Chain A
Amino acid sequence: MKVTVYGPGCARCQKTAEVVQQTLEARGIPVELEKVTDYAAMAVAGVMSTPGVALDGKLVSTGKLPTVAEVESWLG
């Protein structure tokens, strides 16, 4: 699964990438992580507050550090 983390590289963004990656991998889902730090790309993706997370190109969360339970809820 392709995971995109939008954020300027702050501590919260790093943490977000870790939580998402670990949660997905714990479920046996291979992760292809992409970090977007460019503001123009963030704006185009509709991310207004960082960190933002998109799964396979679909934006699922912005402006917060997601919990493991939240990451699991995105998978449905």
Chain B
Amino acid sequence: MSTTENTLEPKSTTRLHRWLFTLAVLTPLWLLAYAHLDEFATAVLSLVDLSRATPLGEALHFFFYDTPKVLLLLTGIVFVMGIIQTFFAPERTRALLSGKRLGVGNVLAASLGIVTPFCSCSAVPLFIGFLSAGVPLGVTFSFLISAPMVNEVALVLLFGMFGWKVAALYLLMGLLIAIVAGMVIGRLRMERYLEDWVQKIASGEAGAHVPDEHLNWVQRFDAGWGHVREIVGKVWPYVIAGIALGAGIHGYVPEDFMVSIMGRDAWWSVPAAVLLGVPMYTNAAGIIPIVEALIGKGAALGTVLAFMMSVIALSAPEMIILRKALKPRLIATFAGVVACGIVLVGFVFNAVL
């Protein structure tokens, strides 16, 4: 054992130096590129000899400005989030939440939902793991709502395409929905609508635990890079499709195309958008092309964000997964409470913006 540690030590130090060196080179390059996006887009235009005064020129400028911008942001933020997530393993989040009361617990759970790695395929084991460690049902739901909905990819894309105010509003409203919906579910005392086998496990003590891992910084940087490869590798086609669509709209389609259907004067459009979002299932990146297209054609921002939240937070496949652990009544309550929250948020957005 001691011999392996001795041989590992110098190797991991050089790897750390390599990481620090790489980051020291890449960070200024990243900043430099981000500061010269406009020059880049203009340079591309002058290469093909087009002016921004023509529709094609305007569309191309939009595309060559937004694509590098969003991809740069995405890579940077996802890398940082990958590192942050190594500090918040689900086991740790669970320990932080266990025994917390409604209220404080819900706020904490919704916030931890942003930084704890989460994949909807492990929603059920995570759900049961939380309950069995004494995390109240309402607090668990706050986490379960916030984790997929308020994620870094959605925030980066909103920031890159619509500015920091929209991203910040989405973050706040997403947290608010998760907190309030969790509190409502907690108040309703629906523990008996968990499937029986879940109740049995939840009342006992969970089995084995993975021993706490002590990660070093090389492993954290590696995790960040792994996160970039996994997330950016998966979402870049959607991002480019979204921007291309946006560019087309920017250059060609008349701006008020959608105003009468999804504009802010059509009040029913918000609940309709939420309903429409439920059977659709995609991640934050997949929804962006649609969002971009709708907003480009004059749909109201609140309506579109409500649609986006509904697609991400209330998906039919996820409910089917959760059905294994929850009785229909609890699923219906969960969906109903979250849907109401999203509709309210849509109205607020439309009224404020």
Among B94, B125, B130, B207, the residue within 8 A (CB) of A50 is B125
A28 lies within 8 A of chain B by Cβ: no
- Does B210 contact A61, Cβ atoms closer than 8 Å? yes
Residue of A nearest to B94 (CB): A48
Among A43, A50, A59, the residue within 8 A (CB) of B121 is A50
Mask of B206-220 contacts with A, CB within 8 angstroms, 1/0:
111110000000000
Residues of A within 8 A of B119 (CB): 49-50
Q: How far is the CB of A70 from chain B (nearest CB, A)?
A: 9
Q: How far is the CB of A48 from chain B (nearest CB, A)?
A: 3
A40 lies within 8 A of chain B by Cβ: yes
**Known pairs A8-B121, A39-B324, A39-B325; A46 contacts B206 (CB<8 A):** yes
B161 lies within 8 A of chain A by Cβ: no
Bound-complex Cα distance A42 to B207 (A): 10
Among A39, A43, A76, the residue within 8 A (CB) of B132 is A43
A2 lies within 8 A of chain B by Cβ: no
A26 lies within 8 A of chain B by Cβ: no
B197 lies within 8 A of chain A by Cβ: yes
Residues of A within 8 A of B118 (CB): 49
Q: How many residue-residue contacts, CB under 8 A, span A and B? A: 75
Residues of B within 8 A of A5 (CB): none
- Does A58 contact B208, Cβ atoms closer than 8 Å? yes
Residues of B within 8 A of A52 (CB): 210
In B256-290, the 8 Å CB interface with A consists of none
A60 lies within 8 A of chain B by Cβ: yes
**Known pairs A39-B324, A43-B201, A76-B1; A48 contacts B126 (CB<8 A):** yes
Q: How far is the CB of B228 from chain A (nearest CB, A)?
A: 15
| B contacts with A, residue count (CB < 8 A) | 27
Is chain A's interface secondary structure helix, strand, loop, or mixed overall? mixed
- Does A46 contact B122, Cβ atoms closer than 8 Å? no
Of the four ranges (under 10, 10 to 19, 20 to 34, 35 or more), the interface on chain A belongs to: 20 to 34
Residues of B within 8 A of A76 (CB): 1
Residues of B within 8 A of A61 (CB): 210
- Does A44 contact B122, Cβ atoms closer than 8 Å? no
Residues of B within 8 A of A54 (CB): 208
Among B90, B125, B128, B207, the most chain A Cβ lie within 10 Å of the Cβ of B125
- Does B209 contact A46, Cβ atoms closer than 8 Å? yes
A62 lies within 8 A of chain B by Cβ: yes
Residues of B within 8 A of A10 (CB): 121
Residues of A within 8 A of B201 (CB): 40, 43-44
Q: How far is the CB of A60 from chain B (nearest CB, A)?
A: 7
- Does B89 contact A63, Cβ atoms closer than 8 Å? yes
Among A43, A44, A52, A62, the most chain B Cβ lie within 10 Å of the Cβ of A43
B251 lies within 8 A of chain A by Cβ: no
In B67-125, the 8 Å CB interface with A consists of 89-91, 94, 117-119, 121-122, 124-125
In A33-74, the 8 Å CB interface with B consists of 39-40, 42-50, 52, 54, 58-63
Q: How far is the CB of A37 from chain B (nearest CB, A)?
A: 11
**Known pairs A40-B197, A43-B128; A50 contacts B208 (CB<8 A):** no
Instruction: Give A residues with C-beta under 8 Å from B.
Output: 6-8, 10, 39-40, 42-50, 52, 54, 58-63, 76
Q: Which 9 pairs across A and B sit closest by C-beta, in order of nearness?
A: A48-B129, A43-B128, A46-B207, A50-B122, A46-B208, A39-B124, A42-B125, A59-B208, A49-B122
Instruction: Give B residues with C-beta under 8 Å from A.
Output: 1, 89-91, 94, 117-119, 121-122, 124-126, 128-130, 132, 197-198, 201, 206-210, 324-325
Q: List 7 A-B contacts (CB under 8 A).
A: A6-B125, A46-B206, A48-B91, A48-B125, A49-B126, A54-B208, A76-B1
Q: Given contacts A39-B125, A49-B117, A49-B119, list 16 more A-B pairs with CB under 8 A.
A: A40-B198, A43-B132, A43-B198, A43-B201, A44-B201, A44-B206, A48-B94, A48-B122, A48-B125, A50-B121, A50-B125, A54-B208, A59-B208, A59-B210, A62-B90, A62-B210
